[in-house]
């Protein structure tokens, strides 16, 4: 893995554990007044534009930033689609209510267009970037600020809870005990990232993501007794309160243009004290997964590896469900009650 250039003075983020393979770049705490950042223009800009700053990140700025790293297009293997419309980034930040002093996690900053808006809103950004070239590009673009830290690693494998909880405790607990997540996610890892983020209600208050439109719609509004009602909906409702589909983003706003539209969704995470009361979260989600593995089967059949069918029928009756109930007929509260009746931990 290509290491990023370290800063010259001690970073104020907790060091990465010796067992971690990630490379952390943190800019030192500084006391000088914060400068408002503007999108950058590379030296390769046309003669008439040299010395001028762009007001937005657009197609041409994105292509030039990639070319500066010896790249001619985003990497398809990483699901990279860069945002070309700065107004979409501004709306993402507005939805999350990002303001002065907030700590924000950004996953996959790419060329830094959303990072720029977050920093201008007054946030300190922890950016996790798997692509070493993009990590270096973002570091160089914002090298003059003390409000950015770059963690070069695959987010799905990094110790983000450790990094953020340590940082909040040491540096920002007086202002806010929670961080926020604002990200334009690669579509191919969105579900995996959601599963990793939502159980972190002890360090995150809000998670605002730009996802594939179909995924955002399904997560925000999925009714009972439909084919779209799945275990992920139970998971989302367990850890967040009323996920909101905010607005659609046309595919033409991205480079390269994906085959589908996107949308912004907001998850307001529950504090850990408000999680449904189950004896074991692991056994609860295992039961839910088993229930949906045989979606058209009655629960008394799909869950009989947990306990006899007769006990399942009795439990269903006690929570007001018919003995012939199927998984798509049960709410989160129903599954919680059923688990606590039939699963012995």
pLDDT at 27: 43
- Of 214, 194, 104, nearest to 148 by C-alpha is 104
From the number of C-beta atoms within 10 Å of its C-beta (0-12, 13-18, 19+), residue 256 rates as: exposed
pLDDT digits (tens, 9 = 90+) for 207-224: 999 999 999 999 998 788
Planar angle of CA 125, 252, 121, nearest 5 degrees: 25
Please give the residue that has the higher pLDDT: either 2 or 300.
300
Q: Examine residue 256 and say whether the peptide bond preceding it is cis (omega within 30 degrees of 0).
A: yes
pLDDT at 41: 30
pLDDT at 188: 84
Binding residues for S-adenosyl-L-methionine: 81, 83, 108, 129, 154, 184
Three-class secondary structure of residue 240 per DSSP: strand
pLDDT digits (tens, 9 = 90+) for 121-137: 999 999 999 888 889 88
Please give the residue that has the higher pLDDT: either 52 or 210.
210
Q: What mean pLDDT comes out for the span 150-173?
A: 84
pLDDT at 79: 52
Please give the residue that has the higher pLDDT: either 1 or 179.
179
From the number of C-beta atoms within 10 Å of its C-beta (0-12, 13-18, 19+), residue 45 rates as: middle
H/E stretch holding 268: strand 262-269
Q: CATH 3.40.50.150 residue ranges in the chain? A: 23-274
pLDDT at 80: 58
- Give the C-alpha separation, 301 to 298, whole Å: 5
% residues pLDDT > 70 (the chain): 75
Token pair listed for 241: 């309160």
The 10 Å Cβ neighbour count of residue 128 is 23
Confidence of residue 13 (pLDDT cuts 50, 70, 90): very low
Q: What mean pLDDT comes out for the span 68-96?
A: 74
Which CATH number is 23-274's, of 3.10.440.10, 3.40.50.150, 3.40.50.1000, 3.20.20.80?
3.40.50.150
Confidence of residue 170 (pLDDT cuts 50, 70, 90): confident
Question: Rounded to two decimals, what is the model's pTM?
Answer: 0.79
Helices 132-141 and 113-120, packing angle to 10 deg: 40
Q: Are 134 and 111 in contact (CB under 8 A)?
A: yes
Confidence of residue 17 (pLDDT cuts 50, 70, 90): very low
Confidence of residue 175 (pLDDT cuts 50, 70, 90): low
pLDDT at 6: 38
| Lowest pLDDT segment from 14-18, 26-30, 33-37, 247-251 | 14-18
Please give the residue that has the higher pLDDT: either 151 or 24.
151
Confidence of residue 344 (pLDDT cuts 50, 70, 90): confident
pLDDT at 4: 41
% residues pLDDT > 90 (the chain): 55
Confidence of residue 73 (pLDDT cuts 50, 70, 90): low
Average pLDDT, the chain: 80
Q: Are 266 and 246 in contact (CB under 8 A)?
A: yes
- Give the C-alpha separation, 117 to 218, whole Å: 28
Binding residues: 81, 83, 108, 129, 154, 184
Q: What mean pLDDT comes out for the span 317-337?
A: 96
Q: Are 204 and 179 in contact (CB under 8 A)?
A: yes
Measured CA to CA in angstroms, residue 278 lies from 113, 124, 291, 344 at distances of 42, 36, 17, 11
Q: CATH 1.10.8.100 residue ranges in the chain? A: 281-342
Task: Give one DSSP letter per residue of 188-215, joined into a string.
Answer: GGHHHHHHHHTT-TTTEEEEEEEEEHHH
pLDDT at 228: 87
Three-class secondary structure of residue 105 per DSSP: strand
Three-class secondary structure of residue 149 per DSSP: strand
Whether the per-residue pLDDT at 55 is higher than 60: the answer is no
Which CATH number is 281-342's, of 1.10.8.100, 3.30.1330.60, 3.30.2040.10, 1.10.1760.20?
1.10.8.100
pLDDT at 64: 60
pLDDT at 165: 86
pLDDT at 67: 61
Please give the residue that has the higher pLDDT: either 56 or 209.
209
Whether the per-residue pLDDT at 329 is higher than 70: the answer is yes
Q: How far apart are the first and last CA of the chain?
A: 43
pLDDT at 66: 59
């Amino acid at each position: 893995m290509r290491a990023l250039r370290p800063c010259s003075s001690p970073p104020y983020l907790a060091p990465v554990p010796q067992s971690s393979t990630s490379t952390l770049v943190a800019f030192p705490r500084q006391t000088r007044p914060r400068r408002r950042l503007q999108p950058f223009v590379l030296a390769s800009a046309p003669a008439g534009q040299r010395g001028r700053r762009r007001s937005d990140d657009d197609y041409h700025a994105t292509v030039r930033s990639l070319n500066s790293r010896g790249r001619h297009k985003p990497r398809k293997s990483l699901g990279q689609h860069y945002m070309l419309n700065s107004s979409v980034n501004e709306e993402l930040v507005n939805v999350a209510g990002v303001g002065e002093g907030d700590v924000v996690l950004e996953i996959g900053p790419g060329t830094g267009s959303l990072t720029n808006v977050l920093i201008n809103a007054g946030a300190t950004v922890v950016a996790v970037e798997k692509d070493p070239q993009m990590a270096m590009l973002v570091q160089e673009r914002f090298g003059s600020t003390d409000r950015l830290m770059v963690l070069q690693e695959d987010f799905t494998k990094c110790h983000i809870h450790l990094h953020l909880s340590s940082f909040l405790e040491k540096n920002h607990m007086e202002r806010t005990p929670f961080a926020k997540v604002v990200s334009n996610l690669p579509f191919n890892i969105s579900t995996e990232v959601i599963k990793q983020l939502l159980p972190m209600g002890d360090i995150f208050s809000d998670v605002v993501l730009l996802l594939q439109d179909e995924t955002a719609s399904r997560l925000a509004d999925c009714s009972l007794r439909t084919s779209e009602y799945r275990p992920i909906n139970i998971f989302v409702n367990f850890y967040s309160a009323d996920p909101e589909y905010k607005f659609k983003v046309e595919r033409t706003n991205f480079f390269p243009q994906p085959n589908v539209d996107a949308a912004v969704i907001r998850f307001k995470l529950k504090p850990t004290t408000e999680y449904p009361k189950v004896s074991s979260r692991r056994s609860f989600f295992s039961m839910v997964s088993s229930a949906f593995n045989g979606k058209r089967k009655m629960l008394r059949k799909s869950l009989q590896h947990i306990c006899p069918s007769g006990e399942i029928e009795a439990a269903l009756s006690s929570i007001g469900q018919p003995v012939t109930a199927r998984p798509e007929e049960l709410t989160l509260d129903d599954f919680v009650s059923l688990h606590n009746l039939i699963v012995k931990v």
